[in-house]
Structure 1
Amino acid sequence: MPRLTALAATTALLAAVGGTAVAPAVSSAATVAPAAANAPVVRVLPLGDSITFGRSSCTGNGYRGPLQGLATAGGRYALDFVGSNRNGVMDDYANEGHPGFTVDQIGQGVDQGWLAARPDVVLLHIGINDLNQGANGTDTAARAVALVNKIFAAQPGVTVIMQGLIGASTGMNNPMPVNLSANMDAFNTRLQQEESVQQQAGRHFRFAKAPTLTPAQMNDGLHPNDAGYAVFAQGFATLLDQTYSARWFTGSATQLARPSDAVRLVGLKDGRLRNAEGDFAAGQWSSWNDMGADGVTEVTSAATFSVNRIFAVRDGKVFEKDGDYATGQWSNWFEPSFADALPRKAVAVSASALNHALHLVVIGEDGHLYNADADYEAGRWTGWTDHGGNFKRVTSATTTDGVNHLFAVDATTNQVMEKDGDYCAGRWNGWTASGPSVVTAQDVAASASGRTVHLSAVTANGTLVRTDGDFAAGHWSGWAQMPGSGITRVTSATANGVEHLFATSGGRLKELDIDLAAGTMNSWAEPAGGADAQSATAAFTR
């Protein structure tokens, strides 16, 4: 990965230190710009298997992200995706894509209520798992027709748009698992014939043959990469426009939901943890609650969608506690499956997440930095990787392109060092000095928005400096000194265009909020009514 260069000019934040305080609110910035103000909202259920889910998409958006962008650019209607599953960095990540599911398994899901959201349109892509498991193309097509009939029986009047199986192509990373071409052709031909049958019965059904993608547009023999998903989205976009023009669906005036703006804050004091919830859209905090842990020396957290996952170090071991804010359920403290394999006792810890993937980094008692990765959708952890070094503090942030950026304070020089892991490309770079220029620190914090990392460092004299690393453009802003003094620890979390810094000073927990678009900030204040703390961690659930 290329080294980021420094911008000569500092950000507008320095000029705003004495400026107007801002109250953080839900930003209008989103992954995809909103459609025209008066555009009707069309409820769309993406239904299928791993391709609907977005497998092998670095962002997790799959075809849904490009499709939403095309609809937004057209301005005729806005898409509101529905479904019980979640994947993608886009704000509207709902879908009903289930990796590995066959046609019959998807049919069982329809029986169990997957149409409960009453979509205007069902986008259907199914069948490849049947064929990949040896099923006949004609028989699989017959089951797919039965599924289409089941959808219309469950919701008469719905529009069903189906794209055929993607033309077989050897992918960049893996060969095609089996020669599926003949069975895929039989499947696609039968469903193409079904289009006129369904329409003659008065049903709103369209079918389009999927594009044959090039090897550069495939990640493996079955799944596109992001470039391939963008091409695949075009097919759905064309049929959506045609069926909307035919008035098969009209949408409604329902407003699109805003993304969540709730931070989950955990404070550490004298070995005990307490948590509080900050709802920035409503402008209010909850009270503090004890988390039932003692003897804790370090804590970190990261959210995978609605679940905040908290990792605490006690007696050199790492423990986890998960809170699902969609269901209101909390787990007990437990040792994750990697616990016994941790090479050294842990002295510091950091976590960051993207979609269902969580990246945990630990500094061992030997000063080395170790990392392990969890896939909560698949329910598994990797083993530990030793990244070497001699560090005392660590922070991390994962950008929306799937790159995990590690920032660690060298135990000897106090210099902030950086190492980046590109999980989409499957490679790490080496340790380098981080930021626009060399800085020494006693603590660091990082959070991300898009492909930009917001990095803060507590200097030896207790002041706080910060910089923004734009990894898409390849540069850092200059270090900007923040107000305040006597700071010992810092953490940060960013959502909806606002970076929230939480720092400890004088044994108290303080908060400073930065509107990244406006370049303004408010003053330091005590969150959740105030609390004593030695350190803290914060994460936004989605």
Structure 2
Amino acid sequence: MTRTRHLLSGLVALVALLLGMASTASAASTTRADSEAAPVRVMPLGDSITDGFNVPGGYRVDLWQKLVAGGHEIDFVGSQANGPGNLGDRDHEGHSGWTIAQIDSNIESWVKTYTPDTILLHIGTNDMYGGDPGGAPARLATLIDRITAQAPDAHLFVATIVPLAWGDQTVRTFNAAIPGIVQSRADAGKRVHLVEMYSKLTTADLADGVHPNATGYSKMATAWYDALLSVPGSIGDDSTPVPAVERRPAAALS
């Protein structure tokens, strides 16, 4: 009888051990599955500069290659798609000729449809041509608020716009307002981040006085990539913090 009890106890212990091993294996499998979960959904958002006018794919080409080389699992998302063969994911939300207001009119449906985790916003160039460039900062603020309300968990990177060969002071005035707009939202707990893009390019980096050439788009890609790396979680949990995205005072833009 004692031997039987010992055998039963041994069997119970063995079963418990096997169950424990199975549970551990299952947990490990779940952890691996989680680590290999869906890639981070990144929405390049803006006008023809996001679309890649003059240089197919624009900054998205070099940015994609940098992300892949860095080992980041990324899915570009959006209703538009174009670019060369060396652009592994051609989706985006860049619309040639569009203003801030036009993006604002459509952003809710795009965010709902594509559920981006991270948004790269470069918009306002076409507003500099219009009759109310002075109202562009308020329109940008409204757009930012709409995005953060629709996608509160997404990281929104807001860039100052690149230079124009004409009307430079108009561009500078618009850009000078952006850091304050971004900072006030960040202070309120929103996941909004400034990308100082204007100072990364000069008019020599423009193909036609408005749109970047290949060198200019490459510089944009570097600025976006550095910004993404500076915010852990924006391109996956393995993002490596680097010096924070520049938050230059308005005077630095003059």
Q: Are the equivalent residues in 2 in contact too, given 1:163–1:235 (CA < 8 A)?
A: no
1:92-123, CA deviations, whole angstroms, 9 ceiling, x for partnerless residues? 10000000001010011113334421111010
Aligned pairs (5 A) from 1:71-110: 71-75=67-71, 77-89=72-84, 90-110=87-107
Q: Distance in 1 between matches of 2:92 and 2:237?
A: 18
Match of 1:217 among 199, 202, 205: 205
The question of 1:181 aligning with 2:168 is answered yes
Deviation (angstroms), 1:235:
1.0
1:259-292, CA deviations, whole angstroms, 9 ceiling, x for partnerless residues? xxxxxxxxxxxxxxxxxxxxxxxxxxxxxxxxxx
Q: Are the equivalent residues in 2 in contact too, given 1:161–1:206 (CA < 8 A)?
A: yes
Equivalence for 1:237: 225
Which letter maps to 1:109? N
The question of 1:50 aligning with 2:53 is answered no
Q: 1:106 to 1:92 in 2, by over 3 A?
A: same
Match of 1:191 among 159, 166, 178: 178
Aligned pairs (5 A) from 1:229-268: 229-244=217-232, 247=233, 250=236
Q: Distance in 2 between matches of 1:224 and 1:150?
A: 28
1:16-66, CA deviations, whole angstroms, 9 ceiling, x for partnerless residues? xxxxxxxxxxxxxxxxxxxxx969721100110000100110xx1100110
Secondary structure class of the residue paired with 1:112: helix
Q: Distance in 2 between matches of 1:236 and 1:160?
A: 12
1:458-483, CA deviations, whole angstroms, 9 ceiling, x for partnerless residues? xxxxxxxxxxxxxxxxxxxxxxxxxx
Q: Are the equivalent residues in 1 in contact too, given 2:77–2:91 (CA < 8 A)?
A: yes
The question of 1:146 aligning with 2:142 is answered yes
Q: Are the equivalent residues in 1 in contact too, given 2:62–2:218 (CA < 8 A)?
A: yes
Q: Are the equivalent residues in 1 in contact too, given 2:229–2:235 (CA < 8 A)?
A: no
Aligned pairs (5 A) from 1:115-154: 115-137=112-134, 139-154=135-150
Q: 1:104 to 1:251 in 2, by over 3 A?
A: farther
Deviation (angstroms), 1:215:
4.4
1:110-149, CA deviations, whole angstroms, 9 ceiling, x for partnerless residues? 1333442111101000001011224224x10110010000
Q: Are the equivalent residues in 2 in contact too, given 1:43–1:251 (CA < 8 A)?
A: no
Which letter maps to 2:225? A
Secondary structure class of the residue paired with 1:243: coil
Question: Unaligned regions of 5+ residues in structure 1, if any?
Answer: 1-36, 169-175, 253-542
Secondary structure class of the residue paired with 1:234: helix
Q: Are the equivalent residues in 2 in contact too, given 1:39–1:78 (CA < 8 A)?
A: no
1:67-93, CA deviations, whole angstroms, 9 ceiling, x for partnerless residues? 111112222x22210000111012310
Q: Distance in 2 between matches of 1:199 and 1:62?
A: 28
Q: 1:111 to 1:85 in 2, by over 3 A?
A: same
Equivalence for 1:61: 57
Identity of aligned residues (%): 33
Q: Distance in 2 between matches of 1:200 and 1:216?
A: 36
Deviation (angstroms), 1:248:
5.2
TM-score, normalised to structure 1's length?
0.35
Aligned pairs (5 A) from 1:287-366: none
- Tell me whether 186-195 or 118-127 shows the greater mean CA deviation: 186-195
Q: Distance in 2 between matches of 1:249 and 1:54?
A: 22
Aligned pairs (5 A) from 1:145-164: 145-164=141-160
Equivalence for 1:375: none
- Tell me whether 199-208 or 121-130 shows the greater mean CA deviation: 199-208
Q: 1:214 to 1:184 in 2, by over 3 A?
A: closer
Which letter maps to 1:51? I
Q: 1:198 to 1:98 in 2, by over 3 A?
A: same
Equivalence for 1:33: none
Q: 1:114 to 1:100 in 2, by over 3 A?
A: farther
Q: Distance in 2 between matches of 1:68 and 1:208?
A: 18
TM-score, normalised to structure 2's length?
0.73
Please tell me the root mean square deviation across aligned C-alpha atoms, in Å. 2.2
Q: Distance in 2 between matches of 1:79 and 1:249?
A: 7
Q: 1:248 to 1:230 in 2, by over 3 A?
A: closer
Structure number with higher strand proportion: 1
1:176-212, CA deviations, whole angstroms, 9 ceiling, x for partnerless residues? 3xx3212211211111112221111111111122135
The question of 1:206 aligning with 2:204 is answered no
Q: Distance in 1 between matches of 2:234 and 2:205?
A: 32
Secondary structure class of the residue paired with 1:45: strand
1:202-248, CA deviations, whole angstroms, 9 ceiling, x for partnerless residues? 1111112213524442111110011110001111101111112xx35
Q: 1:242 to 1:109 in 2, by over 3 A?
A: same
Q: Distance in 2 between matches of 1:144 and 1:214?
A: 23
Question: Unaligned regions of 5+ residues in structure 2, if any?
Answer: 1-34, 239-254
Which letter maps to 1:46? P
Q: Are the equivalent residues in 1 in contact too, given 2:100–2:123 (CA < 8 A)?
A: yes
